[in-house]
Amino acid sequence: MSEIAEFTRHLGHYLGPPDVELVERAFEYSDSAHRGQYRKSGEPYITHPLAVASILSQWRIDAQGLAAALLHDVMEDTAVTKGELETTFGKPVAEMVDGVSKLDQIEFTSTEDAQAENFRKMLLAMARDVRVILIKLADRLHNMRTLDAMSPANRKRIARETLDIYAPIANRLGLNALYQELQDLSFKHLNPLRYRVLTAAIKAARGNRREVMNRLLEAIREGYHKAGIHASVSGREKTVYSVYKKMREKRYTFSQVFDIYGVRVLVPDPTSCYAALGVLHALYKPIPGKFKDYVAIPKANGYQSLHTTLFGPFGTPLEVQIRTHDMHRVAEAGVAAHWLYKRQDGVGLAEAQRETDRWLQGLLEIQSESRDSKEFLENVKGDLFPEEIYVFTPKGKIMALPRGATAVDFAYGVHTDIGHHCVAARINYELLPLRTELKSGDHVEILTAPTARPNPSWLSFVATGKARSRIRHYLKGLQQKESAALGERLLNQALATLKVEPEAITWERWEALAKEYGARSQLDILADIGVGKRLSFVVAQALTRTPGRGDDAAPAAKPGALTLRGVEGVAIQYAKCCRPIPGDAIVGHFRKGQGLVVHLTDCVTLRKQRVDAAELVDVEWAGDVEGVFDAGVRVLVSDRRGLLADLAMAIADAEGNIDAISMEKPDGAGVIAMFFGIQVRDRRHLAAIVRNLRRVPDVRRVQRART
């Protein structure tokens, strides 16, 4: 093929003969493996891996990376195995090909599960070797360039996946040119009509505004010449997708988007960046609040530049980027600059590499704390859209966080233990709640307490994948411990029914049962009992079964009542539908995966569910119940000024705590129906509150509200 000859000639500019020979062998191997296979466009399949390798060669990726690119589909689409690749091309090449290959050999319950597990595999391979994601991104770029051959449904699916996952990854790795092209190609296939209309409008505007732009560039060059600053000044056009995004976010028409053109200024060194900025601000007035200094504080992907927006000629805004030549290389090639400019001492390359390594290591940490692929992907997605803010630690260190990050995100960013034990934040020397959203420039100090622990409500407002995965991991561990404690109590009661002491169960019997159930340990079996996945008397029967009797032994009697002390934690929940409190007649219902839910014995909701008797557990209140419980009171009152204050005072006098109030006033009626959510200790406490409410003037009726 003439294409491979041209390709290897290009490689000779930066690779030695042994490296070129490795790439040629990989091409011949791939060509042979894919022989007889064709793409949807009708071209021989080998044209695709060759195109992927050609894209990578523009970043000067090493020979192993190029070989892996040429072989990236052989494990997925042919009979070639990882072992064969390792024997022929070495372990690093085989590992990269395996990292890019999908998990087609595993059966998944849904497309979403398959997609999530494939991303998980790819991202973890990327964390070990960043070349994996560079191959995958080049693969996706070529697929997007040739997407017209696919069916409309597949085009939209692949374009959506690219816009949601691959383009943000390219951005996170600093591959700006690739990021913008993936966005434009995704937009083209997701919204073909809008793409055509906008492309035509930008093309027309290009002609109309060219003269204005040329005069502007000349004026800026003249200003730099007079100031003695050596600067390269060029115009840059916004991408179609970025114009569309601005129109959608700002609700602009195309005619209102004046800044489809911008200016890029390249200077020799960082000091000249600020001098060049001063000249620009002397020529044209800057728009307040539109200046960003990414030179002093680089983005997480290593990007450095000064951004300013000016009032240009005719009052139109003009966006300007000022950076050094080395900063520009990093801005365009990102992590690939490691290969592209590794023979040069480019400023910023080492820092960009370090930032990428930190992010990749963070992926490994998130993976270790995510139980399934969907959760891992959700946590990673949150970190792929980093519109960043910059805050200061008490020691003056700068920390980058995504926009919308809170004090809890900051705490986990500093250290996991600080996140686990944080109780409040001092932001700009003012004491504020942990859910406070941070802004750029904030000075943040976290206050901790040894007894504090993560709150499930934090998951509703944290913005970083690291914080979310740490909180979930902690809560799952806590829930397992509490569920196991409940499971042990239930099992002991079941064993008592069988007249067996818990100490009589040997460790060997527990190990045999764990193996039989496919559980990792005794703790897992007890936790399963606690959350209702296994019934205590069935496990008790299995533990006491005489070896060799099999499963046809007589069923065990149902265990006696479980005593509730009110401090069981997350393993036991009190039903919201009937609000049981100490003193009520109650029954327990096991909901699979959720543990034991306690209802009133006459709960209407439970009766409607037609629950199987095997799922019900006899429960009773202990004599020394601790804590407070949610109850409800419905009050019918005559409307008058100051009534709500009197009712609240009556509840407070009886030591009740109000946690919810709602009211309803029928049209034309002089009465109001009010509902109070109240925290009480037991039935006697609730009765005292009801008596106090009945004494308030204008109260017509008071009754307990169970729903």
- Which residues are part of the catalytic machinery? 76-77
Per-residue tokens: 513 = 């049962």
Question: Beta strand 430-432 with 444-448: parallel, antiparallel or unpaired?
Answer: unpaired
Measured CA to CA, the distance from residue 407 to residue 428 in angstroms comes to: 12
Measured CA to CA, the distance from residue 302 to residue 350 in angstroms comes to: 9
Measured CA to CA, the distance from residue 162 to residue 295 in angstroms comes to: 30
Give the 3-state secondary structure of residue 663.
strand
Per-residue tokens: 210 = 């060219």
Give Cβ neighbours of residue 243 (< 8 Å, ≥ 6 apart): 198, 202, 254, 257, 260
Measured CA to CA, the distance from residue 225 to residue 649 in angstroms comes to: 78
In angstroms, the Cα distances linking 113 to 48, 123, 140 are 27, 15, 20
Measured CA to CA, the distance from residue 567 to residue 569 in angstroms comes to: 6
Measured CA to CA, the distance from residue 357 to residue 338 in angstroms comes to: 12
Angle at 109 between CA 103 and CA 113, to 5 degrees: 55
Angle at 127 between CA 122 and CA 133, to 5 degrees: 50
Measured CA to CA, the distance from residue 354 to residue 385 in angstroms comes to: 19
What sign does the CA torsion over 291, 296, 302, 304 have? positive
What sign does the CA torsion over 150, 154, 159, 161 have? negative
Q: What count of residues does the chain have?
A: 707
Question: Beta strand 388-392 with 317-324: parallel, antiparallel or unpaired?
Answer: unpaired
Measured CA to CA, the distance from residue 80 to residue 102 in angstroms comes to: 14
Of 264, 275, 259, the residue nearest 312 (C-alpha): 259
Measured CA to CA, the distance from residue 687 to residue 695 in angstroms comes to: 13
The answer to whether the beta carbons of residues 405 and 440 sit under 8 Å apart is no
The answer to whether the beta carbons of residues 30 and 138 sit under 8 Å apart is no
Q: Which H or E run contains 633?
A: strand 629-638
The answer to whether the beta carbons of residues 97 and 78 sit under 8 Å apart is no
Q: Which residues pair with 82 in a beta bridge?
A: none
Per-residue tokens: 129 = 């070797």
- Report the 3 state secondary structure along 67-119: HHHHCCCHHHHCCCCHHHHHHHHCHHHHHHHHHHCCCCCCCCCCHHHHHHHHH
Amino acid at site 144: M
Q: Where are the beta strands (DSSP E) in 185-283?
A: 232-237, 261-267
